[in-house]
A and B are shown apart, each in its own frame.
Chain A
Amino acid sequence: MATTQLTSISDHNFEQCLKCSICTVYCPVAAVNPAYPGPKQAGPDGERYRLKDPKFFDEALKLCLNCKRCEVACPSDVRIGDLIQQARMKHTTHRPKLRDMMLANTDLVGSMATIVAPITNFSLGLKPVKVVMDAVMAIDKHRTFPAYSAQKFEAWYRKNAQAQQDKFAHHVSYFHGCYVNYNFPQLGKDLVTVMNAVGYGVHLLDKEKCCGVALIANGMYQQARKQGEVNMASMRKSINQMRRPIITTSSTCTFTMRDEYPELLGVNNDNVREHLSLATRFLFQLIDEGEVKLAFRPDFKMRVAYHTACHMQRMGWAIYSTELLRMIPGLELVELDQNCCGISGTYGFKKENYETSQAIGSILFADIEAAKPDYVSTDCETCKWQIEMSTGVKVLNPISILAQAIDVEATQKLNGVR
């Protein structure tokens, strides 16, 4: 008992709670779904009971999106989201269903889907198939699935980019994530364009596994841990042997590997964490320190509404992306108010969550419509699916916008790249 007390207290600051209820004000789920007890009750209040007796654990905790908006709002730095996830991890008796396993195994399913991409895309879009998925798998039929690309990013990279990377003076490793690999290789290509333009070679990691965010959400902690260990080993090699820091283009993968690995999964990321960054942050810092420069195309014009993804907000890094976008002369930026889009990874794909998910997102969607942007920009891929499906406005990662806005040759010249 004494040790439980000690670790819990030092773990997530739960004894700092002032009972002010501010967290509940900003919880997107509590706002629309009365079956969810809300962060204060599910987090610090519930934790007191659970420490006394685990039977107080409530399966309704699985309704938490793990968006961490409660943590950002809390004036006392209570790590409410961590408390909730840890309670699920410790106490849940619920076993993942086949549907959850499929949604969670983004890379396995992705690999299979890529092989048969045209068929998968065709059949995922087909009405009868969606109805069957809805009925049998409990994947909501309103969902548009992200299309699978016929060529994986890794394959494109090996064929078209790898050979040129060694000639650069500086180097990074790129953790592309499942989304870039299977669904949207264009973002990876854009990253290579931008980094090459400023004189950085881009390399793949020795071995890359899905960061595990979907596994955590679906209760498959063992597998998440294993994949985490593989990623950390590859990254250590990149940092220690090759002197290559790691960059990503996904805020969620970054957050998971920097913060959820040690906090939730117990995967040690010492000596990796500080070398693992989001590409927009990495670039901004280089520019801020005067190490690299960007030259922009004079004819570029775009009105962009920036949406801060939940995990981006938790990391506090949105400012890097927005400052980078603001550097583009022809770009007009609107910062959307901080609201969750409702998808939260695989959560919104589940039939039982569809309504909650869309209700949560409705405020954001209305804001986007009012802003009348050419594009929405965000650093999270699942927000992209949700926003595109729900508003019809196209969504671009800031790196893709940058790739369109820079004058590649002029940028290379500025940075002494031949």
Chain B
Amino acid sequence: MKFDTIIMGGGLSGLTCGIALARTGKRVAIVAGGQNTLHFFGGSFELLGNVDGADVTNPLEAISSLDQQHPYSKMGHEQVAQLAEQAKSLLGDAGIKTSGDSARNHYRITPLGVTKPAWLTLDGLATTDRPDSLPWKKVALINLESFIDYPIDFVVEGLRALNTTVEMPTVTLECIKRARRSATEMRATNLAKVFTNTRNVAQLAEAINAVAGDVDAVLMPAVVGIDNEDASDILKAQVEKPMYFLPTLPPSVSGVRINAALRHYFQMLGGRFLLGDTVDKATLEGDRVTRVNTAKLQDTPLEADQYVLATGSFMSKGLVSNFERVYEPLLDLDTNAPKEHAQWSQFGLMGDQPFMSYGVMTDEHFRPLKDGKPLSNVYAIGQVLGGHNPLTLGDGTGVSLLTALAVAQNILDQK
């Protein structure tokens, strides 16, 4: 089977790169093994949140202080600024509406009720301009009875620390009780399926109006509408007070929706999406990959002019570690992980974990290095890349989006 480009990995960066290429009429196939880390997405994209332990105000300016190995350093200030705009409009074209500015971070509220710098936040989610206060004096945080997988006490404590009075009225509904009969957990996505039904949404609105009281805004966990915005739009229209959603623990409703929206858009553009399949072999001739084989298509090799590695980090097995080393399992590409095992991680869960910045090394066009030399028709994008750190730098989703677009541009520039 022949394509112009084959992308290995169907998460945020793989889909973004696929869309950018398919839009220009390229024949693109994405091989995606299982669902991806978008399901852990909180609802905000970050470009650059922290440098040297301090919050970043202007991400575009702060790029100059990054290490030379950082993906943004390879693009340079101008390209980062331009691709950031392109990313925002691509998301919009896929039906994902966001607000935010690459030259000025705002603050998102994490699922545990803490503020963190963010670049783009999905419309409808609560945000604030400052790390230490909310735009409202008094809010009602709706406590959905039976939503046991929501750490509401943490969130209330977090919000109260932001100079806001927080009420926590409880809402009980028959439809939630019915769903609760299931022996499964009560995750955000389970509830979102209940609140896709417009009758249930109307009941929810009525119940919220009855308990909200005299507040500036109503906040509630993002558990409304699994497939699209319709249900949450209806709810917001029916709730009398201004209303905003807060992100939840995974799997998140925003993540499921973004994933579906991007995939739908990619396929609408003619892209081929091979879900539940993985590339298990890449044939290398000299410095070129000539074909790949997947677990499910076995004796049908996939061939393309370019191959994009978007296989993610350790969790998605784009990187693997054993007792001896950290390696990239498909092509055994060069990584920036030190040989010494002891340096991989530090004690304490929240500390700077060096292994989070491990990944494959590339040249300035994001072509990965093997034995010190770049492969000529392979590119690496997203979390498989080394030299950045989603935990300490707050650059995870930004790196995924921007490297995807940069590589799409590099591929298109070739001819």
A interface, CB within 8 angstroms of B: 20-22, 24-26, 30-32, 34-38, 40-41, 58, 60, 71-77, 274, 281, 284-285, 288, 313-317, 319-320, 322-323, 335, 337-338, 363
Rounded to whole angstroms, the CA-CA distance of A101 and B300 in the bound complex is: 39
Please indicate the chain B residues that have their CB under 8 angstroms from the CB of A281 in the complex: 300
Stretch at the interface among B98-106, B112-120, B183-191, B358-366: B183-191
> Told that A72-B275, A75-B33, A316-B275 touch, could you supply 11 new A-B pairs with CB distance under 8 A?
A20-B39, A25-B189, A36-B182, A40-B184, A73-B276, A75-B315, A75-B316, A285-B299, A316-B294, A323-B1, A338-B275
Q: Are A20 and B251 in contact (CB under 8 A)?
A: yes
* Residue of B180, B189, B226 with most chain A CB atoms under a 10 A cut-off: B189
> What count of chain B residues pass the 8 Å CB interface test?
41
Rounded to whole angstroms, the CA-CA distance of A315 and B316 in the bound complex is: 21
Chain A contact residues, majority secondary structure: helix
Q: Which residue of B lies closest to A338 (CB)?
A: B275
Q: Are A337 and B184 in contact (CB under 8 A)?
A: no
Q: Report B29 CB to chain A, min CB distance, Å.
A: 8
Q: Which residue of B lies closest to A69 (CB)?
A: B276
Please indicate the chain B residues that have their CB under 8 angstroms from the CB of A73 in the complex: 34-35, 276
Q: Report B222 CB to chain A, min CB distance, Å.
A: 14
Please indicate the chain B residues that have their CB under 8 angstroms from the CB of A77 in the complex: 33-34
Please indicate the chain A residues that have their CB under 8 angstroms from the CB of B226 in the complex: 25, 31
Q: Report A68 CB to chain B, min CB distance, Å.
A: 9
Rounded to whole angstroms, the CA-CA distance of A11 and B124 in the bound complex is: 45
Q: Are A75 and B35 in contact (CB under 8 A)?
A: yes
Q: Are B185 and A21 in contact (CB under 8 A)?
A: yes
23 A-B residue contacts at CB 8 Å?
A: A20-B250, A20-B251, A21-B185, A21-B187, A22-B34, A24-B190, A25-B35, A25-B251, A25-B256, A30-B182, A35-B181, A35-B182, A37-B183, A58-B183, A72-B275, A74-B35, A75-B33, A77-B33, A288-B300, A314-B276, A316-B274, A316-B277, A316-B297
* Residue of A24, A288, A322 with most chain B CB atoms under a 10 A cut-off: A24
Query: B167-183: which residues lie under 8 A (CB-CB) from chain A?
Result: 178-183
Q: Are A38 and B184 in contact (CB under 8 A)?
A: yes
Please indicate the chain B residues that have their CB under 8 angstroms from the CB of A319 in the complex: 1, 29, 272, 274, 297
Q: Which residue of A lies closest to B249 (CB)?
A: A21
B interface, CB within 8 angstroms of A: 1, 29, 33-36, 39, 178-185, 187, 189-190, 193, 226-227, 250-251, 256, 260, 263-264, 267, 272, 274-277, 294-297, 299-300, 315-316
* Residue of A24, A314, A316 with most chain B CB atoms under a 10 A cut-off: A316
Q: Report A31 CB to chain B, min CB distance, Å.
A: 5
Rounded to whole angstroms, the CA-CA distance of A74 and B39 in the bound complex is: 11
Q: Which residue of B lies closest to A77 (CB)?
A: B34
Q: Are A288 and B1 in contact (CB under 8 A)?
A: yes
Q: Are B300 and A76 in contact (CB under 8 A)?
A: no
Q: Are A75 and B1 in contact (CB under 8 A)?
A: no
Chain B contact residues, majority secondary structure: loop
Q: Which residue of B lies closest to A336 (CB)?
A: B267
Rounded to whole angstroms, the CA-CA distance of A73 and B33 in the bound complex is: 8
Rounded to whole angstroms, the CA-CA distance of A174 and B181 in the bound complex is: 47
Please indicate the chain B residues that have their CB under 8 angstroms from the CB of A31 in the complex: 193, 226
A72-B1 contact, Cβ under 8 Å, with A30-B184, A38-B184, A319-B272: no
Q: Report A214 CB to chain B, min CB distance, Å.
A: 24
Q: Which residue of B lies closest to A22 (CB)?
A: B35
Rounded to whole angstroms, the CA-CA distance of A338 and B179 in the bound complex is: 24
Please indicate the chain A residues that have their CB under 8 angstroms from the CB of B187 in the complex: 21, 24-25
Rounded to whole angstroms, the CA-CA distance of A36 and B193 in the bound complex is: 14
Please indicate the chain A residues that have their CB under 8 angstroms from the CB of B193 in the complex: 31-32
Q: Are A313 and B276 in contact (CB under 8 A)?
A: yes
Q: Are B34 and A75 in contact (CB under 8 A)?
A: yes
Partner of A337, one of B182, B256, B260, B272: B260
Q: Are B275 and A313 in contact (CB under 8 A)?
A: yes
Rounded to whole angstroms, the CA-CA distance of A25 and B192 in the bound complex is: 10
Q: Are B276 and A41 in contact (CB under 8 A)?
A: no
Q: Are B34 and A41 in contact (CB under 8 A)?
A: no
Partner of A72, one of B34, B180, B267: B34
Please indicate the chain A residues that have their CB under 8 angstroms from the CB of B251 in the complex: 20-22, 25
Q: Are A316 and B276 in contact (CB under 8 A)?
A: yes
Rounded to whole angstroms, the CA-CA distance of A29 and B295 in the bound complex is: 28
A75-B184 contact, Cβ under 8 Å, with A25-B256, A316-B296: no
Rounded to whole angstroms, the CA-CA distance of A316 and B179 in the bound complex is: 32
Q: Are A317 and B39 in contact (CB under 8 A)?
A: no
Rounded to whole angstroms, the CA-CA distance of A38 and B190 in the bound complex is: 10
Q: Report A48 CB to chain B, min CB distance, Å.
A: 14
Please indicate the chain A residues that have their CB under 8 angstroms from the CB of B256 in the complex: 25
A22-B39 contact, Cβ under 8 Å, with A316-B297, A337-B264, A363-B227: yes
Q: Are A24 and B184 in contact (CB under 8 A)?
A: yes
Rounded to whole angstroms, the CA-CA distance of A122 and B179 in the bound complex is: 41
Q: Report A30 CB to chain B, min CB distance, Å.
A: 6
Q: Are B184 and A37 in contact (CB under 8 A)?
A: yes
Q: Report B57 CB to chain A, min CB distance, Å.
A: 34
Q: Are B264 and A317 in contact (CB under 8 A)?
A: no
Q: Report B250 CB to chain A, min CB distance, Å.
A: 7
Rounded to whole angstroms, the CA-CA distance of A73 and B34 in the bound complex is: 5
Rounded to whole angstroms, the CA-CA distance of A24 and B29 in the bound complex is: 27
Q: Report A62 CB to chain B, min CB distance, Å.
A: 14
Q: Report B382 CB to chain A, min CB distance, Å.
A: 15
Rounded to whole angstroms, the CA-CA distance of A320 and B299 in the bound complex is: 12
Please indicate the chain B residues that have their CB under 8 angstroms from the CB of A315 in the complex: 296
Please indicate the chain A residues that have their CB under 8 angstroms from the CB of B178 in the complex: 34
Rounded to whole angstroms, the CA-CA distance of A30 and B192 in the bound complex is: 12
Rounded to whole angstroms, the CA-CA distance of A284 and B180 in the bound complex is: 47
Q: Are B35 and A71 in contact (CB under 8 A)?
A: no
In the A-B complex, the 4 residue pairs with the closest CB atoms: A316-B296, A72-B276, A38-B184, A37-B183
Q: Which residue of A lies closest to B29 (CB)?
A: A319
Please indicate the chain A residues that have their CB under 8 angstroms from the CB of B274 in the complex: 316, 319
Q: Report A277 CB to chain B, min CB distance, Å.
A: 10
Please indicate the chain B residues that have their CB under 8 angstroms from the CB of A316 in the complex: 274-277, 294-297
Q: Are B182 and A76 in contact (CB under 8 A)?
A: no
Q: Report A125 CB to chain B, min CB distance, Å.
A: 33
Please indicate the chain A residues that have their CB under 8 angstroms from the CB of B29 in the complex: 319
Please indicate the chain A residues that have their CB under 8 angstroms from the CB of B295 in the complex: 316
Please indicate the chain A residues that have their CB under 8 angstroms from the CB of B277 in the complex: 316
Q: Report A370 CB to chain B, min CB distance, Å.
A: 12
Please indicate the chain A residues that have their CB under 8 angstroms from the CB of B299 in the complex: 274, 285
Q: Are A74 and B34 in contact (CB under 8 A)?
A: yes
Q: Which residue of B lies closest to A323 (CB)?
A: B1
Q: Are A38 and B296 in contact (CB under 8 A)?
A: no
Rounded to whole angstroms, the CA-CA distance of A274 and B190 in the bound complex is: 39
Please indicate the chain B residues that have their CB under 8 angstroms from the CB of A38 in the complex: 182-184
Q: Report B334 CB to chain A, min CB distance, Å.
A: 26
Rounded to whole angstroms, the CA-CA distance of A315 and B297 in the bound complex is: 9
